[in-house]
Copies of this chain bind each other. A is one copy, B any other.
Amino acid sequence: MKRTLIEELYLNKGKEVKIQGWIHRLRKLGKIAFIMLRDRTGIVQCVLDCKAIDIKGLKQESVVEVIGLIKDKQGADEEVEIEVRALNVISNVKEDLPIEINKSELECNLDTILNNRVLSLRNIKTNSIFKIQAELAHSFQEFLINEGFTQVFSPKIVAEGTEGGTELFPLQYFEKKAYLAQSPQFYKQMLVGAGYERVFEVAHVYRAEEHNTQRHLNEYVSLDLELGFIEDERDIMALEEKLLKFMLNRVSEKCSKELNLLEAKLPEYVDNIPSLRLEEAVEILKTKYNRTELVNDLDPEGERQICEYAKEYLNSEFLFLTHYPRSKRPMYAMPAEEKLTHSFDLLFRGLEITTGGQRIHNYEQLVESISSKGLNPESFNDYLQVFKYGMPPHGGLAIGLERLTAQLLGIKNIRETCLFPRDRERLTP
A residues lining the B interface (CB < 8 Å): 3, 5, 20, 22-23, 38-41, 61-63, 90-95, 97, 116-119, 121-122, 127, 130-131, 134, 137-138, 141, 145, 148, 150-159, 169-174, 176, 178, 180, 187, 190-191, 193-198, 202-204, 206, 208, 210, 218-219, 221, 229, 361-363, 382-383, 385-386, 388-393, 401, 418-422, 424, 427-429
Contact = CB atoms under 8 A, between A and B. Distances in A.
Contacts of A170: 171-172
A385 B119 contact: yes
A94 B427 contact: no
A151 B134 CA distance: 5
Contact of A390 (B62, B173, B361): B62
Nearest to A364: B94
A153 B91 contact: no
B169 A427 contact: no
A134 B121 contact: no
Nearest to A115: B382
A197 B422 CA distance: 24
A38 B195 contact: yes
Name the residue among A62, A90, A218 with the largest chain B CB count within 10 angstroms.
A90
Contacts of A187: 419-420
A194 B392 contact: no
A95 to B, nearest CB: 5
Nearest to A187: B420
Contacts of A386: 118-119
A428 B427 CA distance: 28
A171 B173 CA distance: 9
Contact of A427 (B41, B153, B178): B178
Contact of A197 (B39, B361, B421): B39
Contacts of A208: 174
A212 B392 CA distance: 36
B171 A118 contact: no
A410 B187 CA distance: 26
Contacts of A131: 150
Contact of A145 (B20, B40, B138): B138
Given A20-B229, A389-B97, A419 B195 contact: no
Contacts of A145: 138
B150 A429 contact: no
Contacts of A134: 150-152
4 closest residue pairs by CB, A with B: A382-B429, A121-B194, A40-B197, A118-B386
12 contacts: A5-B148, A23-B390, A39-B197, A40-B150, A61-B390, A91-B390, A93-B389, A94-B389, A134-B150, A158-B427, A173-B218, A174-B424
Nearest to A123: B195
Name the residue among A93, A137, A218, A427 with the largest chain B CB count within 10 angstroms.
A427
A40 B90 CA distance: 53
Contacts of A91: 361-362, 390-393
